[in-house]
Amino acid sequence: MSSKARALCMIPGPVEMAEGVLAANSTPATAHTDPAFAEAFGQVLEGLRTVVGTRDGQPFVIAGSGTLGWDQAAANLIEEGDAVLVLSNGYFGEGLADCMETYGARVTRLRAAPGQRATAAEVAQALAAQAYKAVTVSQVDTSTGVLADVQGVCEAVRAHSPQTLVIVDGVCATAAERLYFDAWGVDVVITASQKALGAPPGVSVVVASQRALDVVAARKTRVPAYYASWARWLPVMRSYEARAPKYFATPCVQAIFALNESLRGILADGIELVFAAHERTAARVRAAVAAWGLKTVAAEPALCSNAMTAVWLPESIAAADLLPRLRARGIVAAGGILAGHAHRYFRLGHMGISATRPNGNVDAMLAAAAAALEECGHQIPSSSTSSSSSSGRASPPRL
Ligand X SMILES: Cc1ncc(COP(=O)(O)O)c(C=O)c1O
The CA-atom distances, in angstroms, between 273 and each of 55, 63, 175, 183, 357 are 20, 29, 10, 19, 12
Neighbours of 24 (CB within 10 A): 23
**Distance (Å, whole) CA 271 – CA 261:** 15
Residue 155, class by beta-carbon neighbours within 10 Å (0-12 exposed, 13-18 middle, 19+ buried)? middle
Instruction: Spell out, one character per residue from 181 to 220, where the chain touches ligand X: x when CB under 6 A holds, - when not.
Output: -----------x----------------------------
Which of 8, 165, 171, 353 binds ligand X (CB under 6 A)? It is: 171
Nearest residue to the partner ligand X, using Cβ: 66
145 binds ligand X (CB under 6 A): no
Q: Which is nearer to ligand X, 142 or 309 (CB)?
A: 142
182 within 8 A of 54, measured Cβ to Cβ: yes
**Distance (Å, whole) CA 366 – CA 373:** 10
Q: How far is the CB of 103 from ligand X (least distance, A)?
A: 16
53 binds ligand X (CB under 6 A): no
- Burial pattern 98-137, b for ≥16 Cβ within 10 A else e, equals ebbeebbbebeebebebbbbbbbebbbebbeeeebbbbbb
214 within 8 A of 245, measured Cβ to Cβ: no
Q: Which is nearer to ligand X, 40 or 171 (CB)?
A: 171
Could you tell me how far CA 118 lies from the centroid of its own chain?
Answer: 18
* Helix (H) or strand (E) segment spanning residue 48: helix 35-52
Q: Which stretch binds ligand X (CB under 6 A): 118-126, 135-143, 297-305, 377-385?
A: 135-143
Q: How far is the CB of 332 from ligand X (least distance, A)?
A: 15
Q: Which is nearer to ligand X, 287 or 351 (CB)?
A: 351
Instruction: Spell out, one character per residue from 80 to 119, where the chain touches ligand X: x when CB under 6 A holds, - when not.
Output: ------------x---------------------------
**What angle, 0 to 180 degrees and rounded to 10, lies between the N-to-C axes of helices 230-241 and 35-52?**
110
Q: Which stretch binds ligand X (CB under 6 A): 51-59, 154-162, 166-174, 377-385?
A: 166-174
Q: Which is nearer to ligand X, 227 or 388 (CB)?
A: 227
Residue 243 annotated as part of some ligand binding site: no
169 binds ligand X (CB under 6 A): yes
Binding-site residues: 347
> What residues make contact with ligand X under the rule CB under 6 A?
13, 65-67, 92, 138, 141-142, 169, 171-172, 192
